Amino acid sequence: MIVGCPRETKNHEYRVGLTPAGVAQIVGAGGTAIVETHAGARVGFADADYRAAGARIAATPAEVYGAAELIVKVKELQPPEFALTHPGQILFGYHHFAPAPELLQSMLDAGVSCLAYETVSDAAGGLPLLAPMSCIAGRLAPQVGAWALQMANGGSGVLLGGVPAPTPVPPARVVVIGAGNVGANATQIAVGMGAAVTLFDRGTEKIAVLDAHYRGRIATAVAEPQALARAIADADLVIGAVLIRGESAPHLIDRALLRRMRPGSVLVDVAIDQGGIAETSRPTSHTAPLFVEEGVVHYCVPNMPSAVARTATLALTLATLPFVLTLARDGLEAACAADAGLAAGLQVHRGAVTHAGLAAASGRPFAPVAWD
């Protein structure tokens, strides 16, 4: 199979879908790799590195999309890329269709097969291709929250760790909503920075594990509406870490609740990829990451891990490459038939929505995959 890796075009997106080491494995297995020029330049992978690994370097994205049967990338296609695809092509990357109806319709019209990193699963029910980026986004969230709290950024001027004796000032109150991969990592970093952390989740299993781990250094609670609202109203920093597979994130924070927060408090909405957890959340970018609504500073960058793009690329491609090799060797049908976890990533196929969660979120009919 011909595997193509285009250069990412989303704002400040520097990650790349394949490393030279990954290309070498594709070529070594008998495949062909086409990489767009400068695709990996910002994370330290020059065109010469890809050539040495056996790739063909393409001058334009049209060359990559036109030749490749399998496109391996990071972020969802941007509007200028919509017309570059062709029927029967496999697009393997983060798609986040639920909050993006125009993107979804374009992929349905194009007749492509979209395998979404964010819903590929493993035997234990985990999300192996989302996990590394969730880990990074979670670890970044307290860091960018601390930055947003600074006065120059519109924040309230609260230091996350407070000040110790002999002139003690209490640490910032951080509320983390969601105890999955993002929430667990955000909690770890926030605790390490000295914040007073309260962790919410809709169930008890995950928070019980984290509560036992931290042994009283964090507060935990089930996310029932009244308790959650009280904690948010008193918080200096709220981190939205909620994920419902393939679906839009639930709106847990309305304008009325935001008005109860102290002016200059911060919301870092990691769930913005799936629409965000607040009524006021809207996607921002690394160029202009912040905005203020109802006196609260919002950070809603959908591609947070690109801030540390080299680390993120290395982590992501370690997870994705085995699936890429399988797809390139066996093709879509055989690969999905042999691996139900990979099949769980197939969200769009031949003009139909083939993921139940996405169908529910987008209001479209669900069409189970029917192979020829």
Predicted structure pTM score: 0.92
pLDDT(95) > 90: yes
Question: pLDDT tens digits for 183-199?
Answer: 999 999 999 999 999 99
Split at pLDDT 50, 70, 90, the class of 280 is very high
Quick one: tokens of 220? 């935990």
Is 109 a catalytic site residue?
no
Q: Could you tell me the two tokens for 71? A: 């496109």
Helices (H), the chain: 20-28, 47-53, 61-67, 101-110, 131-148, 181-192, 205-214, 225-234, 255-260, 309-338, 340-343, 356-362
Q: Which two tokens stand for residue 163?
A: 């000040």
Q: What region, left, alpha or beta, does residue 256 occupy, with left being phi > 0 and alpha being psi -120 to 50 degrees? A: alpha
253 touches 279 (CB < 8 A)? yes
Which domains, ranges and CATH numbers included, belong to the chain? 2-120+309-362 (3.40.50.720), 131-302 (3.40.50.720)
pLDDT higher than threshold 70 for residue 170: yes
Which pair of tokens denotes residue 190? 């926030």
CB 74 within 8 Å of CB 7: no
Please say if 211 is a catalytic residue: no
User: What mean pLDDT is reported for the chain?
Assistant: 96
Catalytic site residue from 49, 211, 236, 273: 273
Given the residues 95, 96, 349, 355, select the one marked as catalytic.
96
Q: Measured in whole angstroms, how far is the alpha carbon of residue 285 from the centre of its chain? A: 14
